[in-house]
Amino acid sequence: MTTFNPDKTDNKKTGQFGEDLACQYLTKKGYHILDRNFAYYSKDGKKLGEIDIIAKKKKEIVFIEVKTQKFSRSFHPEDKVNYKKLQRIKNLAEIWLEKHKLAAPFSIDVITLSLDFQRKKAKIIHFKNV
């Protein structure tokens, strides 16, 4: 398991830790991880977006957005995934499929993690086919 020290971290490390946990969760659920942190750039080098995890289950390719936060009762990480974000993931998913010459059915999922470091627990919620 990935080790993590919440006292000496930043949001990027928290996000990476959450993605690692999400991959472990998906693998246990029968998914095969195909790619992580797939980023696409414009011709001038500007980052146009990123997909956190790309996995396969049976014949379906699943593009997964992972949102991680330190435990909070008043905020839910899924609130940060809006229509615009989902459209960007859909566009990137089509680019990834074309790049890999795949014509497979696909879906977009969201996995949220709320990390409680004091209790050493993570609450994982998997929203399928959003």
pTM of the model: 0.85
Coil/strand/helix, residue 91? helix
Chain center to CA of 20: 9
Q: How many CA atoms within 13 Å lie on the side-chain side of 5?
A: 3
Question: What's the rounded Cα separation, in Å, for the pair 94 and 99?
Answer: 9
Beta bridge partners of 46: none
Alpha helix segments (H runs only) across the chain: 11-28, 83-99
Please list the pLDDT of the chain residue by residue as tens digits (130 residues).
445 555 445 778 888 989 999 999 999 999 999 999 999 998 999 888 999 999 999 999 999 999 888 765 555 556 567 788 889 999 999 999 999 999 889 999 999 988 877 777 888 999 999 8
Domains in the chain, start-ordered, CATH in brackets? 7-127 (3.40.1350.10)
Question: What's the rounded Cα separation, in Å, for the pair 13 and 56?
Answer: 25
